[in-house]
Amino acid sequence: MSFSDFFKKEKKEEDITPIIPQEIYETGVLQLQDVIAPSALQITQNYIRIGSKVAKIIFVMAYPRFLASGWFSPVINLDKVFDISIFVHPVDTASTLRQLQKKVAEVQSQIHTREEKGLVRDPMLDTAYQDLEDLRDKLQQAQEKLFNVGLYITIYADDLEELDRLEIEIRSLLESKLVYVKPALFQQKEGLESVLPIGMDNLGINTQLNSSPVSSIFPFVSFDLSSDKGILYGINRHNNSLVLFDRFSMENYNSVIFAKAGSGKSYAAKLEVLRSLMFETEVIVIDPEKEYEYLAEVVDGRYFNISLTSNHHINPFDLPPVREDESPADVLRSNIISLVGLFRLMLGGITPEEDSIMDRAITETYAARDITPESDFSHAIAPTLSDLELVLAGMEGGESLAQRLSKYTKGTWAGFINQPTNVDINKKLVVFSIRDMEDELRPIGMYLITHYVWNAVRKDIKKRLLVIDEAWWMMKYEDTASFLFGIAKRCRKYYLGLATITQDVNDFLSSPYGAPIITNSSIQILLKQSPATIDLVQKTFNLTDEEKFLLLEADVGEGIFFAGMKHVAIKILASYTEDQIITSDPSQLLAIKKAKEELK
């Protein structure tokens, strides 16, 4: 070996030596594909085992003559784990028109041949001829385009039995729409590559469709509650679209919210109130926990505290002005009936005989102020509870009722209800708080306020929303529940929406008026529920097991939003500014209070 050969050999060895450690190092480096890759992959003729999961790729092989909008919705909204890929390949219009021309000639020839032979007309050939001609016209006029469409679905399960059940479920859903699917036999690898988010149609099983049926496959058509007008209620958890809705576009304007304590029901109600105010809707709130005070302050609303020691009073004997389409006799009679219900609640129940006496006493009390069915009482001064007490004391059989009423006129509870009205709902937001009222008086206070609001609503028709928080207080007693149901049925006539909010589902639904109020509410919002009440909620709202578990496992502000026949899973979100105004979180409220004090 010459020196030059030896030198060349040494140089080659020098070149190779530093490369070996580099290669060893690179083989030990963890790449992104190593992180996301499964631990094992087994491909068989009709399924793939990926780690601990099994998967199967199926494809759509045939479509019906017509595809209605939203036909793919039942699959999209299944509460299962699966992947979907939709490939839309444009087809050259000129070549398609030439092919259609040949096809039309073939079909036309078959039709003429049958006519020459005297055979009965074939409806399938006639329909095919009409469809081909219609498609040719639309393609020629650029109203439609033609596409090769591939629709592939990868379903996942823990074992083969579950995989087969899921395949049968999806197959049944689609075949009910006359859409037929098949598994990609001996092409599972190509199918998996086609469904992965890399944009490669390796399976290549396509069907020619024009623009209209292709658009019907759009995955977010169904379970969507986005409209041109209305307020933002939250985010659709199915597809992250916006849940925009206008309660005043429904057949009635009522709503109910059911949720356990701390799940965000009052937060959702306050958010709707705040956003409704921006659309010229007047809002009246009955607030049992003083949660709406800061909201009323921010939007320059009115806040009335109704309690035994409060300076704000409501006289239940107040009468609304008589409208043109009403008679004074009907207005007076309706108010007397409501008052009898109120006194029945105040006195803890009355006998039928006492009911008759009370009805007559109220009529005479009004008559003493020249308020009769035949008179014009639009400017009359309404009587008070003390006037009724005097009338009862002078009536045969009314002494006992007068004594029982005395605690509201002279006793412990005097001043609460025996005063002329000094509140006015002439602001965009009016809040009546009953937090400082004794528990025994709360249903009476809610009835009294609701009665006053109802009279005010009938006086002047405007776009209004009445929010009754913790409505279960009213549902505990038949008279208050009946009065609330009456408002729910009649409020649409006065352009009023009734929003009832409750955490005690049992108390609400145990009332004979609970279910009718729900059926008379076009919007229903269910947030997180407790295991003790979920079965009753499921039965009342006809929920599936998946929806039942969704409500059990929901986070704060998450649930199901019903609007008419549609419903979606919703997440209620607020902006930072809105959150600072409506929050009920004690820690946030303390922080806001501290910040205010620092500014001072």
Q: Express each pLDDT in 553-587 by its tens digit.
A: 888 889 999 887 778 888 999 888 888 888 877 77
Closest CA to 415 of 279, 306, 308: 308
Q: What does the pLDDT read at residue 29?
A: 67
Q: Are 316 and 323 in contact (CB under 8 A)?
A: no
Tell how strand 231-236 and strand 242-245 pair up. antiparallel
Any idea where the domains of the chain sit in the sequence? 238-314+423-600, 317-420
CB atoms within 10 A of CB 256: 23
Q: Are 150 and 203 in contact (CB under 8 A)?
A: yes
The larger pLDDT score, comparing residue 121 to residue 575, is at: 575
Find where tokens 């304007």 sit: 253
Q: Would you state the structure tokens that stand for residue 68, as one six-digit string?
A: 């209605």
Calculate ∠ Cα 257-258-262, nearest 5°: 105
Find where tokens 């009246």 sit: 284
Binned at pLDDT 50, 70 and 90, residue 4 comes out as very low
Closest CA to 424 of 576, 303, 271: 303
* Average pLDDT of the residues in 508-521: 86
* Cα–Cα distance, 250 to 235 (Å, whole number): 20
The torsion of the CA quartet 432, 438, 440, 441, rounded to 10 degrees, works out to: -40
* Average pLDDT of the residues in 362-367: 90
Alpha helices per DSSP H over 207-284: 211-215, 265-277
Instruction: Give SS3 for 162.
Output: helix
User: Which conformational region is residue 411 in: left (phi greater than 0), alpha (psi within -120 to 50 degrees), or beta?
Assistant: beta
* Average pLDDT of the residues in 66-72: 79
Q: Are 135 and 34 in contact (CB under 8 A)?
A: no
Q: Express each pLDDT in 155-209 by its tens digit.
A: 999 999 999 999 999 999 999 889 999 999 999 999 999 998 888 999 999 998 8
Instruction: Give SS3 for 414.
Output: coil
148, pLDDT greater than 70 = yes
Q: Where are the beta strands (DSSP E) in 494-534?
A: 496-502, 523-527
Q: Are 550 and 511 in contact (CB under 8 A)?
A: no
Q: Are 457 and 494 in contact (CB under 8 A)?
A: yes
- Mean pLDDT of all residues in the chain? 83
Sheet of 464-468, strand order: 242-245, 231-236, 566-571, 558-563, 523-527, 255-258, 496-502, 464-468, 282-287, 429-433, 302-305
Q: Are 276 and 255 in contact (CB under 8 A)?
A: no
Max distance between CA atoms of the chain, in angstroms, equals 143
Q: Express each pLDDT in 382-420 by its tens digit.
A: 898 888 888 888 888 888 888 888 888 887 777 778 888
Using only C-alpha atoms, the chain has a radius of gyration, in whole angstroms, of 36
Phi, psi dihedrals of residue 57, rounded to the nearest 5°: -105, 125
* Average pLDDT of the residues in 210-225: 69
53, pLDDT greater than 70 = yes
Q: Are 361 and 398 in contact (CB under 8 A)?
A: yes
Instruction: Give SS3 for 410.
Output: coil
Q: Would you state the structure tokens that stand for residue 453, as one six-digit string?
A: 């609001």
Alpha helices per DSSP H over 17-55: 19-28, 32-36
pTM beyond 0.75: no
User: Which conformational region is residue 223 in: left (phi greater than 0), alpha (psi within -120 to 50 degrees), or beta?
Assistant: left
Instruction: Give SS3 for 387.
Output: helix
* Cα–Cα distance, 206 to 253 (Å, whole number): 47
Exposure of 433 in the CB half-sphere (CA atoms within 13 A)? 17
Phi, psi dihedrals of residue 290, rounded to the nearest 5°: 60, 40
274-283, 319-328, 366-375, 546-555, range with greatest mean pLDDT: 274-283
The CATH code of domain 317-420 reads 1.10.8.730
Q: What is the third-level CATH fold of 238-314+423-600? A: Rossmann fold (3.40.50)
Instruction: Give SS3 for 568.
Output: strand
Binned at pLDDT 50, 70 and 90, residue 425 comes out as confident
Exposure of 184 in the CB half-sphere (CA atoms within 13 A)? 29
> To 10 degrees, what angle do helices 478-490 and 442-459 make?
20
1, pLDDT greater than 50 = no
| Residues contacting residue 327 through CB under 8 Å, at least 6 positions apart | 373
